Amino acid sequence: MPTDAAPRDAGRGSLSDVATSDAALRRFLQGLPGVDAVGLEARAAALGTRSIKTTAKAYALDLAISMIDLTTLEGADTPGKVRSLCTKGAHPDPGDRSAPRVAAICVYPDMAATARQALTELGADGINVASVATAFPSGRASMAVKLADTREAVAAGADEIDMVIDRGAFLAGRYLQVFEEIREVKAACGAAHLKVIFENGELATYDNIRRASWLAMLAGADFIKTSTGKVAVNATPPNTLLMLEAVRDFRAATGQQVGVKPAGGIRTAKDAFKYLVMVNETLGDDWLSPHWFRFGASSLLNDLLMQRQKLATGRYSGPDYVTVD
């Protein structure tokens, strides 16, 4: 696919005034180059065939573990389940303290205080508390409710907020409304980082994913995120590759670096390696860090630990080696 996905005059200040009106923002977003779907999917497929050699596999396993937002987002979540998840995130392999900690524990706002307390008691201050907000996963609420949701999570100890965009407004072409909502939620976050979730499976087209990426970054997103994990189509190699290319082009145009978080459906070490290869080949070492790339996952950690143990001992452990989430 074409690599020049940024506006040709982006480096000459054109990005400073694109959100001054709905018409200007629409003109900018609809003026982005169209996505070559065939080229995008072929590129993602080709990168997916790359293998990681044994000498680099241990590094890749530990890197992937350190990038996980270990997640529980169920109506049946309890304080005990969240505390257990925090323990697992802080000590993924109780039998091997060399295993790295995860990047964050991701929960609903009402569980953020529980997660913060549990991590403090574990002495795991390096693990962030991430909280979904803004009427996750649907985003169907008033702005007042969305902002209250965000402020509640931050007040409870969340270091990161994962917000969902109003897909209905975006698909109806009300880009400025979505832009302003992101800006307001970003302000409500205070010092907390903001991840903006697109729900790519509902955006339907690659062109829409590219537009949503630029819209969120222009509005101040610290991360852009593929999905909630609550719909049929979540993170895929092509839609994540498209977002990686968007953050690359955004940095080239503005000098600002934005992170990427694929979420939903990434369950095995083999899956994770494909994404790490995409990051390395598309963005380079700058993004190969939990500061700039995350996996939204609940079961991925289990397989990474199994593969890590296999690499160390030459055999797989029994089914009780890792806890089942």
Catalytic residues: 162, 225, 261
* Three-point CA angle 283, 285, 288, nearest 5°: 90
Residue with tokens 């409304």: 177
Q: Please, are residues 50 and 86 in contact by the beta-carbon 8 Å criterion?
A: no
Q: How far is CA 155 from CA 109, 129, 316, in A?
A: 10, 12, 43
How many helices (H) and strands (E) would you count in the chain? 13, 8
Secondary structure of residue 193 in the 3-state scheme? strand
What DSSP character marks residue 293? B
Question: Which ranges constitute the DSSP H helices of 105-260?
Answer: 112-121, 143-155, 167-171, 175-189, 200-203, 206-219, 237-254
The first and second tokens of residue 83, run together, are 């505390």
Residue with tokens 């996963």: 137
The first and second tokens of residue 192, run together, are 């907390």
* Single-letter amino acid, residue 241: L
The HSE-up count of residue 174 (CA atoms within 13 Å, CB side) is 11
Backbone angles phi, psi at 121, to 5 degrees: -65, -30
Backbone angles phi, psi at 296, to 5 degrees: -90, 110
Q: Please, are residues 157 and 113 in contact by the beta-carbon 8 Å criterion?
A: yes
Could you list the beta-strand ranges (E) of 223-310: 223-225, 259-261, 295-297
Furthest C-alpha separation in the chain: 61
CA distance 136 to 204: 19
